Amino acid sequence: MKITTHRDLEVYQRAFTTAMTIFALSRSFPPEERFALTDQIRRSSRSVCSNTAEARRKRRYTAAFISKLSDAEGEAAETQVWLEFAVKCGYVPREDAAPLYRAYEAIIRTLVGLITHADKWILKERT
Q: What is the pLDDT of residues 96-111, one digit of tens each?
A: 999 999 999 999 999 9
Taking residues 106-120, report their average pLDDT.
97
Domains of the chain plus CATH, in order, are 9-120 (1.20.1440.60)
Mean pLDDT within 54-79:
97
Q: Average per-residue pLDDT in the chain? A: 95
Q: How much is the average pLDDT of 83-96? A: 97
Q: What is the pLDDT of residue 92?
A: 96
Read off the pLDDT band of 127 (50, 70, 90): low
CA distance linking residue 88 with residue 97, whole number of Å: 11
Q: For residue 53, give Cα distances in angstroms to 8, 56, 72, 79.
A: 10, 5, 9, 18
Per-residue pLDDT averaged across 108-119, rounded?
97
